[in-house]
Amino acid sequence: MSETTPRPERLPGDLTREQLVDRIIRVDQAGEYGAVRIYEGQLSVLGRTPAGGVIRSMAVKEREHLSKFNELIVERRVRPTAMQPFWHLAGFTLGATTALLGPRAAMACTVAVEEVIDEHYAGQVAKLGDDEGELRDICERYRQDEIDHRDTGLKHGAEQAPGYRALTGAIKAGSRLAIWLSERI
């Protein structure tokens, strides 16, 4: 880009507004889809146990989030991530595996994922301007829901899960990779 061309709102290598909004909707739809699948995996194992009710109530919110982003994908003509079939399986597997380790490990999974998603939504809210006020409000509202889920996980013994630090560390790394891929692919 020539130095004489004034482009105050955009630096070389930055995304255009349209590309930014595209990425935000694509990755958020993928993330909410993954969240629904994680809870489906957890419920396949813990659905009839005392933890089932708590997990189901979080799953209800994730389905709400997902249906909003499904709408936005259509309205804004965004290409969904090509990773969707993979997230279908990976989300369910992550949910079922953590649930097999016990209800506290399932809660630790929620804490790990929601901590990453809280940062992720906060980053998006900071990037969106008033021209995308509606999308920004959605991201902020959902961020609050995800923070509630994190707190629910903590309240239900997440930190007492065996190997809490290693488990949450691995899940966070996986979640960050999933975000990176779903923004781009």
Residues that bind Fe ion (CB under 5 A): 32, 35, 62, 65, 146, 149
- Structure-block tokens of residue 26: 């694509």
Query: Based on CB atoms, which residue is closest to Fe ion, 37 or 149?
Result: 149
Give the nearest distance from C-beta 58 to Fe ion in angstroms.
Answer: 6
Query: Based on CB atoms, which residue is closest to Fe ion, 65 or 120?
Result: 65
Give the nearest distance from C-beta 156 to Fe ion in angstroms.
Answer: 14
Query: Based on CB atoms, which residue is closest to Fe ion, 15 or 70?
Result: 70
How many angstroms separate the CA atoms of 178 and 65, rounded? 18
Q: Is 47 strand, coil or helix?
A: coil
Alpha helical stretches, state H, 49-163: 51-75, 84-100, 103-127, 133-155
How many angstroms separate the CA atoms of 95 and 109, rounded? 8
Give the nearest distance from C-beta 5 to Fe ion in angstroms.
Answer: 40
Opening angle at CA 117, ends 112 and 118, nearest 5:
100
How many angstroms separate the CA atoms of 33 and 144, rounded? 18
Give the nearest distance from C-beta 119 to Fe ion in angstroms.
Answer: 13
Query: Based on CB atoms, which residue is closest to Fe ion, 102 or 153?
Result: 153
Give the nearest distance from C-beta 76 to Fe ion in angstroms.
Answer: 19
Give the number of C-alpha atoms closer than 13 A to the C-alpha of residue 169, restricted to the C-beta side.
Answer: 5
- Structure-block tokens of residue 3: 């130095």
Q: Which residue's structure tokens are 């507004």?
A: 17
Query: Based on CB atoms, which residue is closest to Fe ion, 65 or 156?
Result: 65
